Amino acid sequence: MCLGARRGGCGGDRPDQHFPGDHAGDDDRRVSRSRCARSRTGGHTDRRKSDTEGPLRRLALAGPLHCWRRRKGKIDRRRVHSSQGIPRPRHARSRGGTSPLRVGAQHGLRNARAHRSIANIWTDAAAPPQLCAGVPDGDVRVTFAFSDIPDQSGKTAIVTGANTGIGLEIARGLSRKGARVILACRDGDKAKAAIDDIASGPEQSDLDFLQLDLADLASIRDAAEHAKNEKKIDILIDNAGIMIPPLSHAIGGAESQFAVNHLGHFALVGLLLDKLARDGGARIVTQSSIAHKGAKIDFDNLDARRGYSRTKFYGQSKLANLLFALELDRRLRAANSPVVSIACHPGVAQTELTRHLGIMGSVFGPLIGLALNSAADGALPALQAATDPQAEGGDYYGSWGFREMSGKVSGKAYATRTARDPLLAARLWDKSIEMTGIDPGLAPAEG
């Protein structure tokens, strides 16, 4: 990890953790004085090029004076994780060079190896609270590994689609830490085989099967009623999904990917929300995908009658997952509910979702596991969302590697502006109620 802090310099009150020449967010008066100083020195300022040239400059916030094409105060999307940018405060804007320092509660934070991550940003005086490990000297954890999963003894978790792939590994990870895990699956035989697989491990396990077909509202209602018989539910992981199948229809006449991946989970959460709110609240974890990037919700073609593209409809369903998770968090907060909604994605992982690719899926599936993520690697972000004591409602986790496609550890992920659009999310919420006939009973968040 490349770490640093700023030495005090001449003029201004820029915070210690920012680079010289970086005027993003400065008021016009300070920028004008800086420009005057440049004119008096022939266009040159007292910069330490060894500290600002090359890789270090690429990590700075956008808007230095020489980059006049960028709007003042905006974030350079090519240089910084756009969804996690932390604006510099108006106070404390000093100049000077950089010097290596360990990360501490009063120092900035940078991880030069974590591309497009929150760790690439010079933060305010203290590291972001969601990254602080609570150690007295201010040490910071920016990633999450299997060894970081805390003990889950006494907790009950429901994992949809847990009979194979990522869902199976999520169930295995929770069971190994002592949780009672209920595998909510459509195929009972595969679920029982998965239970035998998990139980064959050295750890003592408490596993059960819940019949659930997310394409059938009657099955969802039955599953919710059976789930309510549990003493408590601490974790609900909405993991099940289908990917690029031939065109078919399910709940509300919607195309099957949108129906299973989004509407089915929307209905399940709505039916279980009161149960989840008991005993101090539960965590709802929704599995999205990097396929949400570039996707949009076509409300006029949810039944695919105006055309069907397998990949576009898959991306649409994953965008709906993320919109739902973030909107659910906003509404839960507004209602002062103890339930927490968190989203995640598995990167690009080897799963049975590629079964509809035919020969290509059978050939490239194993290669994905070797080159990118195995099913176990893809399960880690969901396990972080479900168990990390530092996770908060509205967080979004994913693989901590190249373009979030792979990684042996997980961390904060990138959600597009579309995914964070509250108006779009509210429209999707209302449409989901209309198509499922199930209302979670949460009022929109004001503002």
Closest CA to 360 of 395, 310, 400, 321: 310
Looking at residues 162-168, what average pLDDT do you find?
95
Q: What is the pLDDT of residue 343?
A: 98
Q: What is the pLDDT of residue 406?
A: 86
Q: What percent of the chain has pLDDT over 90?
A: 58
Contacts with 412 (C-beta within 8 Å, 6 or more apart), sequence order: 81, 84, 117, 118, 130, 395, 396, 397, 398
Q: What distance in Å separates the CA atoms of residue 23 and residue 88, rounded to the nearest whole number?
A: 10
Structure tokens at 137: 């000297």
Q: Who has greater pLDDT, 298 or 20?
A: 298
Looking at residues 217-246, what average pLDDT do you find?
97
DSSP 249: B
Q: What is the pLDDT of residue 289?
A: 96
Say if 416 falls within a structural domain. yes
pLDDT at 108 over 70: no
Catalytically annotated residues: 314
The answer to whether residues 27 and 172 belong to one domain is no
Q: What is the pLDDT of residue 357?
A: 55
Q: What distance in Å separates the CA atoms of residue 113 and residue 1, rounded to the nearest whole number?
A: 7
Q: Are 315 and 255 in contact (CB under 8 A)?
A: no
pLDDT at 302 over 90: yes
Q: What is the pLDDT of residue 340?
A: 98
pLDDT at 222 over 70: yes
The answer to whether residues 377 and 309 belong to one domain is yes
The answer to whether residues 271 and 301 belong to one domain is yes
The answer to whether residues 109 and 224 belong to one domain is no
C-alpha 295: how far from chain center:
16
pLDDT at 6 over 90: no
Say if 408 falls within a structural domain. yes
Number of compact structural domains in the chain = 2
Looking at residues 98-115, what average pLDDT do you find?
37
Global pTM reads: 0.70
The answer to whether residues 395 and 420 belong to one domain is yes
Q: What distance in Å separates the CA atoms of residue 273 and residue 170, rounded to the nearest whole number?
A: 22
pLDDT at 170 over 60: yes
Q: What distance in Å separates the CA atoms of residue 199 and residue 169, rounded to the nearest whole number?
A: 13
Q: What is the pLDDT of residue 352?
A: 61
Looking at residues 235-255, what average pLDDT do you find?
96
CA quadruple 202, 205, 209, 214: dihedral positive or negative? negative
Say if 7 falls within a structural domain. yes
The answer to whether residues 84 and 225 belong to one domain is no
Q: Mapping DSSP to helix (H, G, I), strand (E, B) and coil, where does residue 397 land? A: strand
Based on its alpha-carbon atoms, the radius of gyration of the chain, rounded to whole angstroms, reads: 24
Range of 75's domain? 1-141
Residue 12: strand pairing partners:
94
The answer to whether residues 239 and 266 belong to one domain is yes
Say if 445 falls within a structural domain. no
The answer to whether residues 151 and 219 belong to one domain is yes
Encode pLDDT of 109-157 as tens digits.
Answer: 433 333 333 433 333 333 444 343 333 334 456 899 999 999 999 999 9
Looking at residues 175-195, what average pLDDT do you find?
97
Mean pLDDT of the chain: 77
Contacts with 29 (C-beta within 8 Å, 6 or more apart), sequence order: none
Q: Mapping DSSP to helix (H, G, I), strand (E, B) and coil, where does residue 60 land? A: coil
Say if 441 falls within a structural domain. no
Encode pLDDT of 73-97 as tens digits.
Answer: 444 444 434 444 444 344 433 333 3
The answer to whether residues 105 and 199 belong to one domain is no
Encode pLDDT of 324-370 as tens digits.
Answer: 999 999 999 999 999 999 999 999 886 665 554 555 545 455 555 45
Encode pLDDT of 13-70 as tens digits.
Answer: 434 444 444 444 444 444 444 444 454 545 444 444 444 444 444 444 444 444 444 4
The answer to whether residues 114 and 178 belong to one domain is no
Closest CA to 178 of 151, 209, 145, 148: 151
Looking at residues 2-22, what average pLDDT do you find?
41
Q: Is 23 left (phi over 0), alpha (psi -120 to 50) or beta?
A: alpha
The answer to whether residues 283 and 421 belong to one domain is yes
Say if 444 falls within a structural domain. no
Q: Are 270 and 439 in contact (CB under 8 A)?
A: yes
* Last residue within a domain, chosen from 83, 118, 141: 141
Q: What distance in Å separates the CA atoms of residue 328 and residue 238, rounded to the nearest whole number?
A: 13
- For 281-295, give the DSSP string: --EEEEE--GGGTT-
